[in-house]
Amino acid sequence: VAYLGALYGVAGWVDRRASAGRAQGPLISALALGVYTTSWTFFGSVGVAALDGYRFLAIFIGPTIACALVPVLWAPLASLCRERQLGSVADLLAYRFQSRGVGAITTVLLLAGSLPYQALQLRAAVEAVAALGSAPARELIALAITALLVGFANLYGVRHLSPGSRHHGFVAVVALESLIKLVALLAVAGYVLYAVFGGFEGLGTYLARHPEAQRALTAPAHAESWLPDLFLSTAAMFLLPRTWHVAFTEGNPAGLRTATWALPLYLLLMNLTVPILLWGGQELGLAGSPEFYSLGLARASGSWLLTSLTFLGALSAAGAMIVVTTVALGSMLQTQLVLPLTGVPVGDLYGRIRWLRRTLVTCIILAGHGMYVLLEDGPPLADLGLASFVGVAQLLPGLVGVLLWSRMTAEGVKLGLALGGLAWLATPIVPMLAQAGALPSSFDWLASLGLQGDSWGFTTCFTLGINGLACVLGSLRRAPTARELTAAAVCRRGGLVEDDTGVEAASTDEFIERLAPALGAEAASSEVRRALTQLALEVGERRPEQLRALRNELEKSLSGLLGPVTARMIVDERLALDDSLRNLLSTQLRYVEQQLSALRLTGPARALEQARQFLRDVLAELPIGVCALGPDGDIALWNQAMAHATALAPDDVLGLRLAQLPMPWGGALAGFASSAELDAELNVAARTLALHRAAIASEAAQGGVVILLEDRTRERELAAQVAHQDRLASIGRFAAGVAHEIGNPLTGITSLAQNLAVEADDQDVRERLRLLLGQTQRIGGIVSALVGFARDGTTVGGRYVHVAVADIVGDAVTLVQLGRKVLIETEIEPGLTVTGDRQRLGQVLVNLLTNAADASPGGLPIRIEASSRAGGGVRLCVSDRGSGMSEDVRARALEPFFTTKAPGEGTGLGLSLTHGIVAEHGGVLALDSTSGEGTRITVELPA
């Protein structure tokens, strides 16, 4: 009780580590496969060695051969089981042959084949307790051990329902028990070697004195006895429910790779102890069956620690086998027998299935106890183990159909399993029951044939011969169904066979609605969301191809929970396929792409594929958006320009109809595709888009449509800017003419005002005339600034001229203040000049002051400063106290056509042109702005 309690603690600790994200090492998974070594190995190997010599090695060599087959047999089966969420060999056969009957017969056969083995374990554990404690109440001991195993199996073997969820603590405990078995045998062997024989030299002396000991090991080792044992143990290594469960349901690829060397090493170390234990028991003259020499030797040592360790090894050998086997069989019985007969429980699906599986596990352990009662005084432990091996070997013909022969049918497998199972019951089981007294002695018909001795070769050939012949003949009666052929293709390829038929359900919400009557609303929602997470899809998914993938993922998930046949029935009924959605061009193209990428083409085929890929890349990278619709209206092509224009990635739209696209694209593009117009213009999000449409007349895609989308927004903006610049040039020329026309009368007005000021005697009149002269001078300044800003430039002979900074600043301030009330403060260092184009430098200052005026709230001044630079040149600074710029806006402020102003209020070219003019003059423009604190722009011009 204390030992099993410690195992509970270890399992809980490992589960907590797994929940924290600490992965289980591959060596633990490999050690867990040591569950193969049961009481038969722990006790029975010494008994086999005493009777049949080195024949005991066959039971160890078989798994070593099986480990060599990991890359070609275990790995494909493990990949298939993970892909399809198949929790047992019964699930695998039921899926491959699409038959509940195959799964049911397989489950019954495995259950029947495991019960003698469970009886063997329980018998060994009871004998160990009785031998160590001299307890007469064997039945009470058996019941106590049975109750403890029921508790452990239900606590840690049935926590997770799906094969996709690992029982990390459970596997770690099985690995720990494997280690304890090995340590216990090595410890007893060490005691014998050094305490009984006095070391290797003493062992050599013993064998020299007793040559019959060595002859007893080698004499019975004949091929006719070895071959059946080798064959059965090799097959049993991956067909027994316990090893299948650990390797495929709870295992991982890394664990299988490690098992290729770790398990043979583990078995080798166990082998080394068997002769030593046999010779040690014979040397000490231990009474009783050699099968229990390990316990007798431990007691003879007088060490309570060694005796306890040996007992715990025996308990580990028995307990691990019973617990793992019953957990595996409980899952099989649930998915292959109970649920098909009773139906899926609606409501608390997970809770009811968990309690159903716990009930089944309990019943199987109790059935094993019942078999123990029948065979309590029956045959040796080794015979019970071999009888179980022959039973599970009946699955080999079906496994051939999984991996190799796609012509095999469900009828052939069912016939073969049924006849092979009956032959197995008649050959080893009935005679064993007769020998144990559970049946009349007349039922031991093998004895009447003279086969009462070593009959395992006959039993193996007889049962598998009937099974295989019936399987072949039954399969040849009719051709496989379409579903069987599809499943066979999946099993051979280890993945999903493509089917482009769409699903009637058009959304994930509809998936949940349709599954709710079969699973319950909560379970339906949970399973759909789990499948969406597994596929990395969104809850609102509507693409046909992704919905079909979701249906496939749901079938796999439900297969692990309810069994493959029940899962297929529910999915077919609730998520029916729609033949009208078959052969979508988008799906065909994706499938072809996947197949071609997996092929290694050579010669002309490779050249053709390279040309096809080149043309596809050209379409994908065209600067004009391209959308191609298949004959059924599904989107088959959506290039990068289309994705950039619509902000919809190709992976998000391929397979959809245009009307299923989000607004505004869905309605606009679908309307254009169905209209009679071949060209149209679309205004979306302040952009101008041109649409063109053409029908596809090729035989491959007849009825398809190509839509071209051209973004003309920048073209329109450039045209508007050119028109604006042309208007500015016209205004400049007009302003020059107006200035000339205004200049003449203004000169006359000025002259008359000056004359009147000299001739007038009235002081008040002279004062008013001086005011009049001031206004005429102001008019002259404005006209002069307009003429200066409008002229083409002041370059002479291709060279820049010297320009007074104060003059261009004054002109710019005058122009900016025309028509707007803005306060501009100037601080100009006297005598500053700059070499450049007066008109273009004036445009720089006008642009900067205009932007500052637009950004400044009313009443806040704008400041412009001009000073000389160290080393020559001029620094101009324009600063405002406006709202400033955010980091994102500041990063793009100098880009052409970027503006934060409302449409129609700005072109986004002011700062870009300013930056270009400054660069032309060899200067640098720096922008310093903080959101909410204003902006400062510095222009540095060279000497």
pLDDT digits (tens, 9 = 90+) for 879-890: 998 888 888 787
Q: What element of type H or E holds 789?
A: helix 763-790
Residue 574 CB partners (closer than 8 Å, separation 6+): 514, 515, 517, 518
Q: Is pLDDT at 913 greater than 80 in this prediction?
A: no
Say which residue, 358 or 117, is predicted with more confidence: 358
pLDDT at 793: 47
Q: DSSP character for 443?
A: G
Sorting pLDDT into bands at 50, 70 and 90, what band is 473?
very high
**pLDDT interval class at 727 (50, 70, 90):** low
- Omega prior to 664 cis, within 30 of 0: yes
Nearest to 863 by CA among 823, 914, 807: 823
Name the H helices within 536-646: 544-562, 564-574, 585-598, 603-621, 640-646
pLDDT winner (highest mean) among 553-562, 781-790, 827-836:
827-836
The SS3 of residue 503 is: strand
| HSE of 509, CA atoms in CB hemisphere, 13 A | 1
- Stretch 389-403: mean pLDDT: 88
User: Can you tell me the distance from the alpha carbon of 248 to that of 932, in angstroms, rounded to the nearest whole number?
Assistant: 64
Stretch 356-385: mean pLDDT, rounded? 79
Would you state the structure tokens that stand for residue 558, as one six-digit string? 């439900």
By C-alpha distance, which of 776, 843, 852 is closest to 808?
843
Higher pLDDT, 666 or 208: 208
Strand ranges in 672-718 using DSSP code E only, listed in sequence order: 679-684, 687-695, 705-711
Give the chain's count of helices (H) and strands (E). 41, 14
Stated as kind and residue range, the H or E segment containing 625 is strand 625-629
Distance CA 697, CA 104 (A): 54
Nearest to 349 by CA among 514, 558, 90, 104: 558
**Amino acid letter, residue 278:** L
pLDDT bracket for residue 724 (50, 70, 90): low
Of 131-135, 288-292, 622-626, 845-849, where does mean pLDDT reach its minimum? 131-135
Tokens of 703: 């009825």
The mean-pLDDT minimum among 397-406, 460-469, 607-616, 902-911 falls in: 902-911
In terms of C-beta density within 10 A (0-12 exposed, 13-18 middle, 19 or more buried), how is residue 592 classed?
exposed
List the structure tokens of 717.
Answer: 């903006």
Give the pLDDT of residue 584. 58
pLDDT at 73 over 80: yes
When mean pLDDT is compared over 164-173, 335-344, 711-720, the highest value belongs to: 335-344
Q: Are 724 and 910 in contact (CB under 8 A)?
A: no
pLDDT at 256 over 50: yes
- Residue 424 to residue 431: CA distance in whole angstroms: 11
Looking up tokens 């078959």 gives 582
Weakest-pLDDT range from 83-97, 508-522, 609-623, 916-930:
609-623
DSSP 172-236: HHHHHHHHHHHHHHHHHHHHIIIIIS-SHHHHHHHHHH-HHHHHHHHTT--HHHHHHHHHHHHHH
The encoded tokens of residue 576 equal 């029916």
Distances (CA, A) of 370 to 36, 168, 304, 327: 23, 31, 33, 18
Q: DSSP letter at 799?
A: B
Instruction: Using only the alpha carbons of the chain, give its radius of gyration.
Output: 46
Q: Report d(CA 564, CA 99) in Å as an integer.
A: 9
pLDDT beyond 80 at 9: yes
| Torsion angle defined by CA atoms of residues 525, 531, 533 and 534, in that order, rounded to the nearest 10 degrees | 160
What's phi and psi for 215, nearest 5 deg?
-65, -35
* pLDDT over threshold 80, residue 744: no
Find tokens 């957990």 and name the residue. 327
Lowest mean pLDDT among 235-239, 643-647, 695-699: 695-699
Indicate the DSSP class of residue 767.
Answer: H
What's the token pair of residue 158? 């049935």
**Using an 8 Å Cβ cutoff, are 688 and 712 in contact?**
yes
C-alpha span between 535 and 883 (Å, rounded): 47
Q: How many CB atoms lie within 10 A of CB 471?
A: 28
Query: CA 515, CA 521: separation in Å to the nearest integer?
Result: 8
Predicted confidence at residue 703, as pLDDT, reads 65
Give me the chain's average pLDDT, please. 80
Residue-level pLDDT at 876: 92
Phi, psi of 297 (to 5 degrees): -65, -40
pLDDT of residue 797: 41
Tokens of 24: 């289980």
Question: Contact, 789 vs 839, CB < 8 A?
Answer: yes
Residue pair 557/579 in contact by the 8 Å Cβ criterion: no
Confidence of residue 162 (pLDDT cuts 50, 70, 90): low
What is the rounded (10 degree) CA torsion for 736, 737, 742, 748? 110
SS (H, E, C) 736-758: HHHHHHHHHHHHHHHHHHHHHHH
Q: Quick one: which of 872, 874, 853, 870 has its CA closest to 806?
A: 874
For residue 795, what pLDDT is reported?
A: 44
CA 200, CA 50: separation in Å to the nearest integer? 21
> What are the structure tokens assigned to 314, written together?
């025996």
Torsion sign across C-alpha atoms 357, 362, 365, 370 = negative
Position 732 scores a pLDDT of 63
Instruction: Give the pLDDT confidence score for residue 353 in this predicted structure.
Output: 84
Question: Which residues lie below 8 Å from residue 793, measured CB to CB, with a gap of 6+?
Answer: 837, 838, 839, 840
> pTM here?
0.64
Q: Are 321 and 38 within 8 A, CB to CB?
A: yes
Contact 453, 395 (CB under 8 A): no
Tell me how far apart the alpha carbons of residues 750 and 743 are, in angstroms, rounded to a whole number. 10
Tell me the C-alpha distance between 96 and 488, whole Å: 6
Average pLDDT of span 626-633? 80
pLDDT for the residue 582: 52
Q: Which residues contact 622 (CB under 8 A, 6 or more apart)?
A: 639, 641
Instruction: Write down the pLDDT at residue 153.
Output: 79
